[in-house]
Amino acid sequence: EDKVVQSPLSLVVHEGDTVTLNCSYEVTNFRSLLWYKQEKKAPTFLFMLTSSGIEKKSGRLSSILDKKELFSILNITATQTGDSAIYLCAVSLNTFSARFGAGTRLTVKP
């Protein structure tokens, strides 16, 4: 059975801290790994990773994939209260479907 496991499930930090969110997977067919941010409503796309060792970066957020060890991390540096959200990891299994993890709920306190 295809599995995507995120850790931690919940995290509380203070503004300015750096956080690392983890996503490990065990799937029969891997196409890509995607990170989404979910604030109040719909998840919105952050990154797509397909190759090991290549860091994707957008401002204070960065992510990297390790296809040998079957995991990805999402780093957020100098966190702000606006980073508070649920971060979802998804593995694209084929052309049409993806398996999502349970998400990490990040709370950034002022």
Q: Which residues bind other proteins (CB under 8 A)?
A: 4, 6, 9, 31-32, 34, 41-45, 48, 88, 90, 92, 95-103
Smallest gap from Cβ 43 to other proteins, in A, equals 5
Beta bridge partners of residue 59, listed in sequence order? none
> In terms of CB distance, is 9 or 78 closer to other proteins?
9
The C-alpha atoms of residue 88 and residue 63 are separated, in whole angstroms, by: 13
> In terms of CB distance, is 77 or 94 closer to other proteins?
94
Smallest gap from Cβ 38 to other proteins, in A, equals 8
Smallest gap from Cβ 35 to other proteins, in A, equals 11
C-beta of residue 83 within 8 angstroms of C-beta of residue 108: yes
> In terms of CB distance, is 17 or 24 closer to other proteins?
24
* Residue among 87, 83, 89 nearest 107 (CA): 83
The C-alpha atoms of residue 66 and residue 40 are separated, in whole angstroms, by: 30
Smallest gap from Cβ 34 to other proteins, in A, equals 6
